Amino acid sequence: MEVNVVTKNGVSALSVKADFYEVLDENFTAICEAISNRGKAIKELTSVFEKEDNSLDTIIQIMTTSIGENAAKNALSEKLGISPQTAQYLLVMSLEDLTTLNVKKLKKMLDDYRTNISKLVV
Protein backbone atom coordinates (compact mmCIF):
# COMPACT_ATOMS: atom_id res chain seq x y z
CA MET A 1 0.00 0.00 0.00
CA GLU A 2 1.33 3.44 -0.86
CA VAL A 3 0.31 6.69 0.80
CA ASN A 4 1.12 10.23 -0.31
CA VAL A 5 2.37 12.40 2.54
CA VAL A 6 2.49 16.19 2.29
CA THR A 7 5.63 17.61 3.87
CA LYS A 8 7.27 21.05 3.93
CA ASN A 9 9.29 20.00 0.88
CA GLY A 10 6.33 18.79 -1.17
CA VAL A 11 4.56 15.46 -1.60
CA SER A 12 6.36 12.23 -0.83
CA ALA A 13 5.21 8.69 -1.42
CA LEU A 14 5.35 6.53 1.67
CA SER A 15 5.22 2.79 1.34
CA VAL A 16 3.31 1.05 4.10
CA LYS A 17 4.44 -2.54 4.65
CA ALA A 18 1.21 -3.91 6.05
CA ASP A 19 -2.26 -2.87 5.07
CA PHE A 20 -4.46 -1.82 7.99
CA TYR A 21 -7.11 -4.39 7.13
CA GLU A 22 -4.56 -7.20 7.01
CA VAL A 23 -3.34 -6.24 10.47
CA LEU A 24 -6.92 -6.03 11.69
CA ASP A 25 -7.74 -9.44 10.22
CA GLU A 26 -4.67 -11.00 11.85
CA ASN A 27 -5.56 -9.55 15.24
CA PHE A 28 -9.35 -9.58 15.05
CA THR A 29 -9.81 -12.57 17.36
CA ALA A 30 -7.49 -11.07 19.98
CA ILE A 31 -9.25 -7.70 19.76
CA CYS A 32 -12.68 -9.32 20.18
CA GLU A 33 -11.43 -11.42 23.08
CA ALA A 34 -9.97 -8.38 24.84
CA ILE A 35 -13.24 -6.49 24.44
CA SER A 36 -15.22 -9.50 25.62
CA ASN A 37 -12.99 -10.01 28.68
CA ARG A 38 -13.28 -6.36 29.64
CA GLY A 39 -17.04 -6.58 29.22
CA LYS A 40 -17.13 -9.63 31.50
CA ALA A 41 -15.05 -7.77 34.09
CA ILE A 42 -17.41 -4.81 34.00
CA LYS A 43 -20.40 -7.14 34.35
CA GLU A 44 -18.82 -8.82 37.39
CA LEU A 45 -18.01 -5.46 38.97
CA THR A 46 -21.55 -4.22 38.37
CA SER A 47 -22.83 -7.24 40.28
CA VAL A 48 -20.39 -6.60 43.15
CA PHE A 49 -21.39 -2.94 43.44
CA GLU A 50 -25.10 -3.81 43.36
CA LYS A 51 -24.66 -6.29 46.26
CA GLU A 52 -22.47 -4.24 48.60
CA ASP A 53 -22.60 -0.54 49.45
CA ASN A 54 -19.05 -0.57 50.80
CA SER A 55 -17.48 -2.57 47.96
CA LEU A 56 -15.19 0.30 46.91
CA ASP A 57 -13.88 0.56 50.49
CA THR A 58 -13.28 -3.20 50.48
CA ILE A 59 -11.40 -3.02 47.16
CA ILE A 60 -9.17 -0.16 48.31
CA GLN A 61 -8.54 -1.81 51.68
CA ILE A 62 -7.46 -5.06 50.02
CA MET A 63 -5.25 -3.27 47.52
CA THR A 64 -3.50 -1.16 50.16
CA THR A 65 -2.94 -3.95 52.68
CA SER A 66 -1.93 -6.79 50.37
CA ILE A 67 1.73 -7.58 49.94
CA GLY A 68 2.27 -7.88 46.22
CA GLU A 69 0.07 -8.05 43.16
CA ASN A 70 -0.69 -11.77 43.35
CA ALA A 71 -1.80 -11.51 46.98
CA ALA A 72 -4.06 -8.57 46.10
CA LYS A 73 -5.51 -10.40 43.10
CA ASN A 74 -6.22 -13.52 45.16
CA ALA A 75 -7.76 -11.54 48.01
CA LEU A 76 -9.98 -9.54 45.63
CA SER A 77 -11.11 -12.74 43.92
CA GLU A 78 -11.93 -14.48 47.21
CA LYS A 79 -13.51 -11.57 49.07
CA LEU A 80 -15.60 -10.22 46.18
CA GLY A 81 -16.26 -13.48 44.36
CA ILE A 82 -14.78 -12.23 41.09
CA SER A 83 -12.53 -13.91 38.55
CA PRO A 84 -8.75 -13.40 38.66
CA GLN A 85 -9.06 -11.52 35.33
CA THR A 86 -11.50 -9.05 36.87
CA ALA A 87 -9.25 -8.67 39.90
CA GLN A 88 -6.35 -7.91 37.55
CA TYR A 89 -8.54 -5.35 35.77
CA LEU A 90 -9.08 -3.60 39.12
CA LEU A 91 -5.36 -3.65 39.89
CA VAL A 92 -4.42 -1.86 36.67
CA MET A 93 -7.09 0.83 36.95
CA SER A 94 -5.97 4.32 37.88
CA LEU A 95 -6.95 5.53 41.33
CA GLU A 96 -9.19 8.18 39.76
CA ASP A 97 -11.06 5.58 37.70
CA LEU A 98 -11.32 3.26 40.68
CA THR A 99 -12.75 5.87 43.04
CA THR A 100 -15.37 7.00 40.51
CA LEU A 101 -16.77 3.51 39.97
CA ASN A 102 -20.47 3.16 40.56
CA VAL A 103 -23.25 0.94 39.28
CA LYS A 104 -24.60 3.52 36.81
CA LYS A 105 -21.18 4.09 35.27
CA LEU A 106 -20.44 0.35 35.10
CA LYS A 107 -23.76 -0.35 33.39
CA LYS A 108 -23.02 2.35 30.80
CA MET A 109 -19.56 0.87 30.21
CA LEU A 110 -21.10 -2.58 29.78
CA ASP A 111 -23.63 -1.23 27.27
CA ASP A 112 -20.82 0.50 25.36
CA TYR A 113 -18.83 -2.74 25.17
CA ARG A 114 -21.88 -4.65 23.95
CA THR A 115 -22.38 -2.00 21.26
CA ASN A 116 -18.74 -2.24 20.20
CA ILE A 117 -18.89 -6.03 20.04
CA SER A 118 -22.05 -5.95 17.93
CA LYS A 119 -20.37 -3.52 15.52
CA LEU A 120 -17.37 -5.82 15.18
CA VAL A 121 -19.46 -8.91 14.57
CA VAL A 122 -21.60 -7.37 11.81
> What average pLDDT values come out for the chain (122 residues) when binned by 10 residues?
57 54 71 77 84 83 92 94 90 78 77 79 62
Phi, psi angles (nearest 5°) of residue 90: -65, -40
According to DSSP H, which parts of the chain are helical? 20-51, 55-65, 69-80, 84-92, 95-99, 103-121
pTM score above 0.85? no
CA dist., res. 119 & res. 7, Å (int): 35
CB 85 within 8 A of CB 40: yes
